[in-house]
Every structure is written in structure tokens, then in C-alpha cells.
């Protein structure tokens, strides 16, 4: 006689063809099958889908999966149908007749899993339909989209709180691959998971090598990175603006790298063609705005490069996480400079968000800047941000592989801050560096800055070194760029402690400077 109560493991074997559970999957499946709510935090590729697919099969009724990504829904349903699971989608791509057929199947108990777009689920018609159907569970995928402070905020996700109100007795499982503590709290609040356990898998992606370099000429640096380290590899390059996407793709193409642009301003068909080529051909580099990536499942992306700073560590983690899903060695490379910090701050300040939104956003940006400036292991910093603490050195990030030199930067900082102060806190980086190095540019003489005591007091460093020092002082918060005054650098309250010698300042040395230093000491 057939087994009438199949257990989770036998379904894992027979339906999904997998030999064993991974990590906490088994515990999650048991918890949800028994009717419990939970929040699942697992990195991309960790195996989140099974955590709601199996309980849907094990419990009576149909599992309702809320997902914002039409392409992902389609792929998942195709895979499930192949495995013999009765799955369907309900979204805007269906005709009215098709949608009605799906609704009938749901009511007839002829579906195991139904994928629904959030805006669809929230319609009175759909809520009424669900009220008449037998529902096994609600799975809310990409749950971080409820976070108003997050990088993937989707207003329709806010409305999903209706699920816990209308269906309090149906288990809810929220899943995401990225969430700092603030976002976890928001998910918990909005989806009614206050008393539900959290299952947190490690967010470590050990095969990804993290590397963050100071920006000199970003395009040249990128070309060198690709041709020297990833020739012939598939990769994604992220830029902030459409113009920069176009420009960078063209520059790479001229350098012999097969690169294609991707941004929201391109014709939809062209965009789809570029995406298809990236997925189906070998060694294509896609240069994109962040519009690209969510829901794209290409296992052999060998590198993700950032030419602009993302908004937060979560965004950085999610974007770099698109590299190396197959587990093979991959790179996350970013070039970043002072202008990135200034630009991101300006975008936040000029946004029409509330004061609270701006405060949270600046905090998230600062956390990323400190990851970029750290001289410690990048991986332990990154994981620490998601609540995983470890003091170990990973051995697979730039700082572990070639530890940066850190020097006492008190005098350097004092010279820089004095220079900003003596010139009236009205000038940007370039002018301050001119004064420090003692260049008699037209502007320097026009303002009489060649007569100041700070003129030429910084000849011991070159322009690149001063740029790096300046960036670090801005990152530490001793200097800030004033948007109203065209990026003039001004002293903050904390600068006083540095000028008085009360606050210690350590500065990291740019790798290229080491060579200078060596040759100086030799001569």
C-alpha cells in the first residue's frame, strides 16, 4: 500500500531528487509543516525555496507564494511542473480566461503551489478568492522589500500585513537573502512575526574574494582588472547612471571585452536581448544600473565590479552576491573615491524622504564607507554587519592577502584640516591639495593662498596620497562636503580634537605609495 503520510525526507528524494537537507532546511520545514510562523534569512543559493515548497506539499491545501519577480515565478513554476508538482502563477501576464482557470483550480483543490504578485494578492477579488480556498501556508519571498529604508522597497509589500490580519491561522514564512537588524525588525513588525522564530543561515560566501580599491581613473582600473584577472569571464559591472553605463560599455568594447549595456532607458527588446546573451553566451560582461540582477540566475558569473558606491552594505552584499553562485572562485571588486561619498550623501539629502529616512540612509551609507575604508578583514566586517561575529581573518580579501600599511596620520590630518580652515572652508579637494603641495595655480594666486602659512606645507605627499587622506578624513567624519557650497570641504565638530592633537588618527597607505616610500628610503 502507498504511504499515505509521506514525510519530508521522502518527498525531498522523490519529488526534488535531492538526497539530504542542507543546513536548517529540515528544521524549518518541520516548523512550518506543524503550523508555525517564521523568518528565514539565508543567502542566495542557500535553498530557501524548499523551505516553503515542501511544507506546502505536506500540509493540506495550496501554498501561496508572494514574489515580486515575474521571471523568477515563471522559472520556479516551470521547474515544479517538471517535478510533477501542481503549480501555477497568478499575475499580470495572464489573460482573463487564464486567470479564471487558475482560480477555479485553486478552489477545486487542484493546486499545490500558487505564485502571486503582491499587488494582485491585495486586490479585493483575490483576497475573497483566498478566503474561499484551502490554504496550506503563505510564503513571502524577498521579504526585505517591505523595508522602507531598504534598497528594494516596494510599496505594495506594505499592504501584505493584511495576510496576518485576514488569515491569522495560516502559517506565514517570510524569506530573504539580505537583511540587517533594522530590516529584520521591519519584516517582523509588518508581517506579524513578533513571536515567530528566526532561522539565520551563515551569510558567508567563501568563494567570493572581496576587494575595494581607491579610485584613480576608474575605467582604466576596471579594464586592467578584467583583462588581467578575468579575461574571457562573464561578469557584471554596476554604475549609477545610464550615461556612465553606456560610456563604460563602449570603453570595454574598445578594449576588446565583449560588453553590453543594460539600463531602464534602453528599449525593452534590446534590454531583453542583452540579458539573454549574457545568460546564454560565454564570457559576456554586462554593464548595468542596479535595474539589472534581481531574479537573474546565472551560476557562473565570475566577477561583479562596482564603479560607484552602492547605498548600503545590504545593497553591496546583494549585488556582489550575484558572483559565483556555482561555488567557484569569483571576485567582488569595487573602485571608490571621495566623490562617491559626496554624491551619495547629496542624493540622500536632496531626496524628498523624511528626516528619519535621511538619518537612517546616512547611517547605512556610513557603514558601507567604513567597510570600504577598513584595514581589517572585509569579510568579517561584512558578516559582522549581518550579526555574524568572528575575529578570524578570511584569507580571501584584499586586506587579508596584502595587509595595508597603517600609519599615524595626526600631522597629515592636521595639515589638511588647517588648510581647509585657513582657506575659509570654501574650497573642494583639488584646490586644497594644490595649496598643500604648493602649486601656484591661477586660483591659488587669485585668492592669495600662496601667501598663507599652509601653502606648500604638504610636499611630503603626492596628489594621490593627499586624495586618499582626504577621503579617509571625510569617511571618519572630521571633514564634510557642503552641497550648498558646491562641495566645499568644511570642518566638523570632531575636527577640533584632531587639530588640538587630542584625537588619534590612523591613515591607511595606498598600495602604490609603498613603492615611493621604498625608493625614498633607499636614496
Query: Helix (H, G, I), strand (E, B), or coil: what is residue 133?
Result: coil
What number of chain residues touch ligand ADP (CB under 6 A)?
12
Q: Which stretch binds ligand ADP (CB under 6 A): 43-51, 109-117, 150-158, 488-496?
A: 43-51
DSSP-derived secondary structure letter, 215: -
**Nearest CA-CA partner of 475 in 492, 462, 461:** 492
For ligand ADP, the binding residue among 15, 31, 33, 48 (CB under 6 A) is: 48
Question: Which among 46-54, 333-341, 419-427, 433-441 is the span making contact with ligand ADP, rule CB under 6 A?
Answer: 46-54
Residues 242-261 as x/- pattern, contact with ligand ADP by CB under 6 A: --------------------
Using CA of residue 355, residue 357, residue 358, residue 360, what is the dihedral sign?
positive
Q: Of these partners, ligand ADP, Zn ion, none, which one is at the site of residue 379 (CB under 5 to 8 Å by kind)? A: Zn ion
Cβ nearer to ligand ADP, comparing 230 with 325: 325
Taking every pair of Cα atoms in the chain, the longest distance, rounded to a whole number of angstroms, is 98
Q: Which CB atom, from 25 or from 399, has the smaller least distance to ligand ADP?
A: 25
CB of 23 to ligand ADP, least distance (A): 8
Minimum distance, C-beta of residue 11 to ligand ADP, in the bound complex (Å): 12
- The 398-427 contact track toward ligand ADP, x by CB under 6 A, reads ------------------------------
Closest residue by Cα to residue 64 from 31, 112, 103, 129? 112
44 touches ligand ADP by CB under 6 A: yes
Residue in 14, 22, 109, 477 binding ligand ADP, rule: CB under 6 A:
22
CB nearer to ligand ADP: give 47 or 353: 47
Q: In what order do the strands lie in the sheet with 285-288?
A: 208-214, 330-336, 303-306, 235-238, 285-288, 259-262
Binding to ligand ADP by residue 318, rule CB under 6 A? no
Nearest to ligand ADP of 20, 518 (CB atom): 20
How far, in Å, CA of 245 to CA of 237, rounded?
8
CB of 43 to ligand ADP, least distance (A): 7
Q: Which does 394 bind (CB under 5 to 8 A by kind): Zn ion, ligand ADP, none?
A: Zn ion
Using CB under 6 A as the binding rule, whether residue 21 contacts ligand ADP is answered as yes
Q: Pick what 46 binds: ligand ADP, Zn ion, none; C-beta below 5 to 8 Å, kind-dependent.
A: ligand ADP
Binding residue for ligand ADP (CB under 6 A) from 25, 56, 289, 331?
25
DSSP 280-301: HSSSPEEEE-TTS-TT---TT-
42 vs 397, which CB is nearer to ligand ADP? 42
CA distances to 212, 415, 416, 453 from 425, rounded to whole Å, are 30, 14, 11, 15
Q: Is 385 in the site for ligand ADP (CB under 6 A)?
A: no
Question: Do β-strands 235-238 and 208-214 pair in parallel, antiparallel, or remain unpaired?
Answer: unpaired
Q: Per CB under 6 A, does 46 bind ligand ADP? A: yes
Q: Which three-class secondary structure state does DSSP give residue 262?
A: strand
- Please select the residue that binds ligand ADP; options are 32, 38, 42, 488, rule is CB under 6 A: 42
Measured CA to CA, the distance from residue 436 to residue 416 in angstroms comes to: 8
Q: What φ, ψ does residue 286 adopt, rounded to 5°?
A: -105, 130
The smaller minimum CB distance to ligand ADP, of residues 26 and 463, is found at: 26
Shortest Å distance, C-beta 335 to ligand ADP: 28
Using alpha carbons, list the distances in angstroms from residue 509 to 56, 128, 214, 244: 55, 63, 11, 29
Inter-residue contact 133 to 168 (CB < 8 Å): no
* Sites for Zn ion among residues 387-426 (CB under 5 A): 394, 397, 400
Using CA atoms, how far apart are residues 510 and 389, in angstroms rounded to an integer?
28
Among 45-53, 332-340, 377-385, 506-514, the segment contacting ligand ADP (CB under 6 A): 45-53
* DSSP string computed for 317-365: HHHHTTS-TTSS-EEEEEEE-HHHHHHHHHHHHHS---HHHHHHHHHHH
What contacts 80, CB < 8 A, 6 or more positions away? Answer: 53, 87, 112, 113
Contacts of 6 (CB under 8 A, 6+ apart): 14, 58
Q: How far is the CB of 403 from Zn ion (least distance, A)?
A: 10
Minimum CB separation of residue 336 from ligand ADP in Å reads: 28
Q: 100 is written with which cell numbers?
A: 479564471
Query: Is the torsion defined by CA of 119, 120, 124, 129 positive or negative?
Result: negative
What is the Cα–Cα distance from 353 to 241, expressed in whole angstroms?
21
Q: How far is the CB of 317 from ligand ADP (least distance, A)?
A: 14
Q: What would the x/- binding string for Zn ion be over residues 362 to 381, using CB under 5 A?
A: ---------------x-x--
Contact set with Zn ion (CB under 5 A): 377, 379, 394, 397, 400
Which residues make up the interface to ligand ADP (CB under 6 A)? 18, 21-22, 25, 42, 44-50
Amino acid at each position: 500500500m502507498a504511504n499515505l503520510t509521506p514525510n519530508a525526507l521522502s518527498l525531498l528524494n522523490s519529488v526534488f531528487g535531492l538526497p539530504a537537507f542542507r543546513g536548517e532546511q529540515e528544521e524549518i520545514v518541520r516548523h512550518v509543516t506543524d503550523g508555525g510562523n517564521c523568518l528565514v534569512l539565508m543567502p542566495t543559493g542557500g535553498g530557501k525555496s524548499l523551505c516553503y515548497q515542501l511544507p506546502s506539499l505536506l500540509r493540506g491545501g495550496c501554498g501561496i507564494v508572494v514574489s515580486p519577480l515575474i521571471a523568477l515565478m515563471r522559472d520556479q513554476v516551470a521547474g515544479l511542473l517538471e517535478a510533477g508538482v501542481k503549480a501555477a502563477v497568478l499575475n499580470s501576464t495572464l489573460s482573463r480566461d487564464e486567470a479564471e482557470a487558475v482560480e477555479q483550480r485553486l478552489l477545486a483543490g487542484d493546486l499545490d503551489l500558487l505564485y502571486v504578485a503582491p499587488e494582485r494578492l491585495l486586490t479585493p477579488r483575490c483576497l475573497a478568492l483566498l478566503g474561499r480556498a484551502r490554504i496550506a501556508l503563505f510564503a513571502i519571498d524577498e521579504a526585505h522589500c517591505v523595508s522602507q529604508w531598504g534598497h528594494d522597497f516596494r510599496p505594495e509589500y506594505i499592504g501584505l500585513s493584511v495576510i496576518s490580519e485576514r488569515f491569522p491561522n495560516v502559517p506565514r514564512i517570510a524569506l530573504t537573502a539580505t537583511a540587517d537588524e533594522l530590516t529584520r525588525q521591519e519584516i517582523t513588525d509588518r508581517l506579524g512575526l513578533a513571536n515567530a522564530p528566526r532561522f539565520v543561515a551563515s551569510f558567508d560566501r567563501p568563494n567570493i574574494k572581496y576587494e575595494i580599491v581607491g579610485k584613480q581613473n576608474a575605467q582604466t582600473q576596471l579594464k586592467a582588472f578584467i583583462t588581467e584577472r578575468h579575461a574571457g569571464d562573464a561578469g557584471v559591472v554596476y554604475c549609477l547612471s545610464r550615461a556612465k553605463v553606456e560610456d563604460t560599455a563602449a570603453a570595454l568594447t574598445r578594449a576588446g571585452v565583449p560588453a553590453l549595456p543594460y539600463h531602464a532607458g534602453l528599449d525593452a527588446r534590446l534590454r531583453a536581448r542583452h540579458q539573454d546573451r549574457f545568460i546564454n553566451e560565454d564570457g559576456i560582461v554586462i554593464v548595468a544600473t542596479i535595474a539589472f540582477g534581481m531574479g537573474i540566475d546565472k551560476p557562473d558569473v565570475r566577477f561583479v565590479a562596482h564603479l560607484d558606491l552602492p547605498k548600503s552594505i545590504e545593497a553591496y552584499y546583494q549585488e556582489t552576491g550575484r558572483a559565483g553562485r556555482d561555488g567557484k572562485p569569483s571576485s567582488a571588486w569595487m573602485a571608490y573615491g571621495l566623490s562617491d561619498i559626496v554624491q551619495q550623501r547629496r542624493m540622500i539629502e536632496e531626496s524628498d524622504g523624511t528626516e528619519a529616512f535621511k538619518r537612517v540612509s546616512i547611517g547605512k551609507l556610513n557603514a558601507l564607507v567604513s567597510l570600504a575604508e577598513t584595514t581589517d578583514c572585509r569579510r568579517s566586517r561584512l558578516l559582522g554587519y549581518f550579526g555574524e561575529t568572528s575575529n578570524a581573518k578570511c584569507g580571501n580579501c584584499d586586506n587579508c592577502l596584502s595587509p595595508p600599511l597603517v600609519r599615524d596620520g595626526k600631522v597629515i590630518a592636521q595639515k589638511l584640516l588647517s588648510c581647509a580652515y585657513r582657506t575659509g572652508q570654501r574650497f573642494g579637494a583639488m584646490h586644497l591639495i594644490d595649496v598643500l603641495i604648493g602649486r601656484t595655480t591661477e586660483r591659488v594666486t587669485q585668492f592669495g593662498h600662496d601667501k598663507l602659512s599652509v601653502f606648500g606645507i604638504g610636499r611630503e605627499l603626492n596628489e594621490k596620497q593627499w586624495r586618499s587622506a582626504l577621503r579617509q578624513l571625510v569617511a571618519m567624519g572630521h571633514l564634510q562636503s557642503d552641497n550648498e557650497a558646491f562641495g566645499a570641504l568644511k570642518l566638523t565638530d570632531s575636527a577640533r580634537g584632531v587639530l588640538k592633537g587630542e584625537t588619534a588618527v590612523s591613515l591607511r597607505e595606498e598600495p602604490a605609495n609603498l613603492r615611493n616610500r621604498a625608493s625614498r628610503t633607499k636614496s
